[in-house]
Amino acid sequence: MTELYRMTAVEVANLLRIGAVSPLDCLDALEKRIAAVNAPVNALVTLCFDRARAHARKIMDTPVHERGRLGGMPVAIKDLADVAGVRSTQGSLIFKDTVPSESDILVRHLEDEGGIVYAMSNTPEFGAGAQTFNEVFGITRNPWDTRLTSSGSSGGAAAALASGMAWIAHGSDLGGSLRNPASFCGVVGMRPSPGRVAASVYSKIDGTMGLEGPMARSVGDLAFFFDAMTGDEPGDPLSLPREDINYFAATQSGWKPKRVAVSRDLGITPVDPEVAEIVLKAARKLEGEGVIVEEAHPDLKEAMECFQTLRAIGFATGMRQLLLDHRDKLKPEVIWNIEKGLKLSGEDIARAEAQRGAMFKRMGKFLETYDLLLCPATIVPPFPVEERYVKSCNGVTFNSYVDWLIIVGAITVCACPAISIPCGFTQSKLPVGLQIVAPNRGEQKLLAGAAFIEKVLGLGAITPIDPNVTHGA
C-alpha cells in the first residue's frame, strides 16, 4: 500500500471496483505521500482528510455498482471552486478565512460520481496569471526543479500530480490554466469544449472563456476522470447532456489521425527555439506511423486583441465590486485587468465578438482538412519562481502579464477542446508539452488522438517523481 500512489488512476479504480483496496486505503496512501513531499513544492494548501474519510465510509456502505464512475477515488480540487465545510480562498486575502456552506456544482457532481475530495490545490489570486503564487499560501514550485514555477493557474494541481500526491485533479482554464501547468510539470491537462463540464455561475451566465476540466498523469487516466465530469446540471445553463460516449474507451480504440497540422507558433507569437524544435521533432515521429504531417495553421491574426478584450470583460463583470471594496487586497495584475475591462467601449466589445466568430469559423474549416492541430502548449520552458510572468521571448517584449499565453488563448477563443501531453525534454531535463487541438465538441477524437501520440512518443506517464529540491541550495 505504501507504493499505491505510483499506480495509475485506472489501476487504482479497478482495485477499488474489485475490493482489493478501499477508499480509506487510498486516502491513507495519499496522506503519507503528502506528508513526505508537499513541503518543498507547496502544491496542496488545504487538507480535509477528516471530511474525506467520513465520505469514504459512506461510499463503502454503498454497493459497488452504486458508487458512481469514480467509485471512491480521491480527487484534488483547485482552490477556486467551493467545497462545503472546507476553507476555499480563491488565493485571495479577501477570502482567506472563507468556509462555504455549499459546494460548487462541479464538486457536487464529482461527489455524486463517487469522488472523494481530500485537498485544495494552490492557485494564483483568482486564477489570474500562469504563475502560481498568492499572498495566502505563497508559491507553488515545480517538482522537476523547485527553483522554477509550476506555471498556472492550475499549478498546484499539476505539481501534486507530478509528485504523486494525486491520481486525478480538477483544474480550470481561460488562458491555458490547464494546459500550461501540465506542460511545465510533465502531466496531462485538457480544456474541454464549452458546456462539457458543468459548474456554478457566479457572474457571466453565458461565459465560454473560463472552463473547468480534468488533469492526470496520462491520457488514459485523464479520460477516465473526464467521463465522470461530463453531464448537464440545471444550475449551469450552458451545460451539455452526457453523450453516449465512453472517453476512456476512445483512448483504447487504436484510432489514429490520417493528417495533422503542426505549427511552431500559430503565426501569432514568439516561441523559444528549443521548445519549437522539440514540438516539431515530436510531430515528425508520427510520419513513421503513416500519418501525414504538414506545417500549417489557420489564420488567427486577431487572436491577441480578441483574447485580451474578452478576458477583460470577464474580469470587469465578475470582479468590479471587489475592485471597489477591496482594491488594497488585489494584486496589480488583477487591478489592471479589471480596469481594462471597465474602460472598454461598445465598439471594442463588438469588434472582439466579431473577431471570435470569424476565427471560430476559420478554425472549423481548417480542421475539416486536418484531423488535429499540433503546437507548443507553452512558448518557454519552466522559468524561475521569482519572475511573476514571462516578459519577453526570443527577442520580443510583451505588453502585459498575459501576452505570453496567446498560443493557448487563441485556442480558447476558437472554442476548441485542447490537451497538453508531454512530448520531450529540454537540455536541462525539463518537460515540454505538446498542445493538441480538435474541432469543437471533438473530445472523442482529441483523446483518441492524444493516446495514439502518447504511445508513439514513448513517454506515457513520466510522473510521479520525487521533487528535485534545488531552491535554497
411-465 pLDDT per residue, tens:
999 999 999 999 999 999 999 999 999 999 999 999 999 999 999 999 989 999 9
The count of C-alpha atoms lying within 13 angstroms of the C-alpha of 374, restricted to the half-sphere facing its C-beta, is 31
Of 45, 155, 97, 62, the closest CA to residue 383 belongs to 155
Tell me which residue has cell 466579431. 354
Its pTM stands at 0.98
Is residue 473 scored above 90 in pLDDT?
Answer: no
Domain ranges of the chain: 4-457
Average pLDDT over residues 467-472: 94
Instruction: Indicate whether 139 pLDDT > 80.
Output: yes
Lowest mean pLDDT, pick from 109-113, 160-164, 378-382, 469-473: 469-473
- Band (114; pLDDT cuts 50, 70, 90): very high
Nearest one of 373, 368, 224 to 286, comparing CA atoms: 373
3-state helix, strand, coil in the chain (%, to 5): 40, 15, 40
**For position 402, what pLDDT does the model report?**
97
Q: Give me the mean pLDDT over the 249-253 stretch.
A: 98
Per-residue pLDDT, averaged over 186-205, amounts to 96
Q: What is the mean pLDDT of residues 110-117?
A: 98
User: Quick one: which of 210, 208, 214 has its CA closest to 238?
Assistant: 208
The CATH code belonging to domain 4-457 is: 3.90.1300.10
| 407 — pLDDT class (breaks 50, 70, 90) | very high
Check residue 460 and give its pLDDT: 84
d(CA 182, CA 191): 11
Q: What is the pLDDT of residues 302-323, one digit of tens each?
A: 999 999 999 999 999 999 999 9
The three grid cell numbers given for residue 323, joined into one nine-digit string:
475592485
